[in-house]
Amino acid sequence: ERNREAAERIKSLMFTFDDLARLTTQSMQALLRSVEKDKLPIALKGASEKLRDLFLNNMSERAGKMLREDMEGLGPVRVRDVDEAQANIVALAKELAAQGQIEISSGKDEELIY
């Protein structure tokens, strides 16, 4: 609160689980292939409906159904466990981006030249 400008600058440099919504379809699918299958239901349990749908829409119908069943079967999940699972997936996304396997857009209006 005391230094809003610095806080905004730091926030813009951070990459959170919600920022995964900016992944392209191809990048999302590459991330899904690499993610530990036991982490995804826990991470999505604490995600917004929009982000949950984005993950599910990038999966096969069968895989999406199984993921939904896994999430329902979890019951209540501790916030700490959700945060840890989400942090693992974000770290994986950063690692894949560093290796050039996925592309993470900055979210700003990126210009394309055709």
Q: Each residue of 10-39: pLDDT tens digit?
A: 765 678 899 999 899 999 999 999 999 899
pLDDT of residue 104: 78
C-alpha separations of 35 from 3, 107, 111 in Å: 37, 23, 30
Within 10 A of 36 (CB to CB), how many other CB atoms are there?
12
Are 10 and 80 in contact, with CB atoms under 8 Å apart?
no
Are 96 and 88 in contact, with CB atoms under 8 Å apart?
no
Tokens of 93: 């996304």
> pLDDT per residue over 49-84, tens digit each?
999 999 999 999 999 999 999 999 998 999 999 999
Candidates 78, 87, 95; CA nearest to 31 is 95
